[in-house]
Amino acid sequence: MSPAAPRLPALLEALGQRAPRGMVLGLDRVREALAALGDPHADVAAVHVAGTNGKGSVCAMVESVARAAGLRTGLYTSPHLSRFAERIRIDGEPIDDAALERALSAALERVPAPLTFFEALTVAAFVAFRDAGVDLAIVEVGLGGRLDATNVLAAPLCTAITSIAFDHVALLGPTLADIAREKAGILKPGAPVVLGPLDPEADAAIEAAALAISAGPRLRVARAERGGSAGEIAVGRAGEIAVGRAEPSARATRVVGPGRPALEVELGLRGAHQAENAGVACGIAWQLAGRWPEVERALPAGLAAARWPGRLERIDAGAGQVLLDCAHNPHGARALAAWLDEEGPGAARTALVFGAMADKGWGEMLQTLAPRAQGRLYATPQGRAAAPLDALQAIAPGEPIGDPRAAVARAIEVAGPGGLVVVTGSIYLVGEVRSALLGIAPDPVVAL
């Protein structure tokens, strides 16, 4: 802890004590708190991004592009992998101790009503962005959109919804249309909207929400399979962003927007699904270019430089290679499986370390991933109730280890020389393993 932040440990402890309240959806408390602090969010130009999966990757890409364009950036995401400070980034780096102390002190001590854990961090982020004088804040929705604490943003420069899939159905609703309507709550009158590839049911719900409040214009990313090979993508249709693979690298992507020349770039983030996320990021950047023309020119460099820890991230563990991926629902598991099918067979043997939260679709996730591993080790993530190890074994035989670090150590043995260990199923599992592999002293796990 730096000498400039002597109160930070106590503030972090006070913040952690609010975690048991969970996530309480609603905007009144956050608005009241921000008003008491001079409405710091009103002073910051912002992009607001929602989605079931991909929103963190899109935020990371947009932030990297904006920084490559010379803008001072703020990035707010959740949850953290190792340290609370990762959730609030200034110019690509976790907020420093002194700035975090000031922001948390404001959110915890200078507001009229006690906030939840996530509300307090959201308020702290806006305070930090104002104090740092950021040119652009990229804000990721925590859960849903309509009632998420981040939805105090009244006039974002652009909004985006990356994907709609089944997740958090108890809070967001049982159908794709229900979930889409909740996420469409971030749309604002007159603010441009960029949509990732969506099922027709979800797209129709969002379109109706946009029309009801006069949000737009709207740009939609075409699914990669619709565009065919990269060579066949000549021009994006009106209101459509076409994405496809470019040669020669598997990470090279071609993006074509309406009225714009084709952009070919080798993405910094791995996985075929990142092409669609890059399409969303380009759509956002094109909207920002109306205010900062240099943002469009910075797209190739920014997309190539983007990094998002814990997403198809390889770490050399000495005795073996470990792949970390934060897939935590069936949609994410399918994206990971597609990567393993295309790029994973180079490993002589693959061992899967899997653990998930009990309220996630862990059965479907494991059914997708288990056939792609020759050995399976089951772990118990921290944070909240986890999927029972015996239930995981009932789906696919494996070793019930429990402790994530022990599970990874055993997986390295199972994979053997030249093998690959894949750690997935929960963001909190990935965070714990990543901290251990990189020697990072982690802050407490908070499943919010």
Does any domain span residue 144?
yes
Average pLDDT for residues 197-208, to the nearest whole number? Answer: 95
- Asked if 275 and 327 sit in the same domain, the reply is no
- Asked if 298 and 317 sit in the same domain, the reply is no
**Which residue did the predictor score with more confidence, 447 or 89?**
89
- Asked if 271 and 182 sit in the same domain, the reply is yes
Parent domain of 33? 8-305
Which contiguous run of DSSP H or E holds residue 88? Answer: strand 88-90
Does any domain span residue 405?
yes
- Asked if 300 and 417 sit in the same domain, the reply is no
- Asked if 295 and 351 sit in the same domain, the reply is no
At residue 171, does pLDDT exceed 80? no
Average pLDDT for residues 410-429, to the nearest whole number? Answer: 95
> Any idea which of 72-86, 219-233, 412-426 has the lowest mean pLDDT?
219-233
At residue 1, does pLDDT exceed 60? no
How many domains does one find in the chain?
A: 2
Q: Distance between CA atoms of 178 and 180, rounded to whole angstroms?
A: 5
Cα→Cα distances 288→138, 192, 435, Å: 12, 10, 35
- Asked if 61 and 93 sit in the same domain, the reply is yes
Last residue of a domain, one of 305, 337, 362: 305
Cα→Cα distances 281→33, 53, 88, 205, Å: 31, 14, 20, 22
Last residue of a domain, one of 245, 270, 305: 305
Last residue of a domain, one of 253, 273, 305: 305
Which contiguous run of DSSP H or E holds residue 428? Answer: helix 427-438
- Asked if 338 and 427 sit in the same domain, the reply is yes
- Asked if 301 and 317 sit in the same domain, the reply is no
Does any domain span residue 448?
no
Q: What is the pLDDT of residue 224?
A: 56
CA angle 202, 207, 213 (to 5 degrees): 130
Does any domain span residue 445?
no
At residue 424, does pLDDT exceed 90? yes
Q: Distance between CA atoms of 298 and 65, rounded to whole angstroms?
A: 6
- Asked if 406 and 430 sit in the same domain, the reply is yes
Q: What is the pLDDT of residue 135?
A: 98
Does any domain span residue 127?
yes
At residue 299, does pLDDT exceed 50? yes
pLDDT digits 0-9 by tens, 150-159: 999 999 999 9
At residue 94, does pLDDT exceed 60? yes
At residue 279, does pLDDT exceed 90? yes
- Asked if 196 and 162 sit in the same domain, the reply is yes
Q: What is the pLDDT of residue 169?
A: 67
The overall average pLDDT reported for the chain is 91
Does any domain span residue 443?
no
Does any domain span residue 42?
yes
Does any domain span residue 427?
yes
- Cβ–Cβ < 8 Å for 419, 320: yes
Look up the CATH number of the domain holding residue 369.
Answer: 3.90.190.20
Q: What is the pLDDT of residue 415?
A: 93
- Asked if 157 and 78 sit in the same domain, the reply is yes
Look up the CATH number of the domain holding residue 30.
Answer: 3.40.1190.10
pLDDT digits 0-9 by tens, 208-253: 999 999 998 999 998 655 434 444 444 446 689 999 877 656 568 9
- Asked if 326 and 282 sit in the same domain, the reply is no
pLDDT band at 124 (very low <50, low <70, confident <90, very high): very high
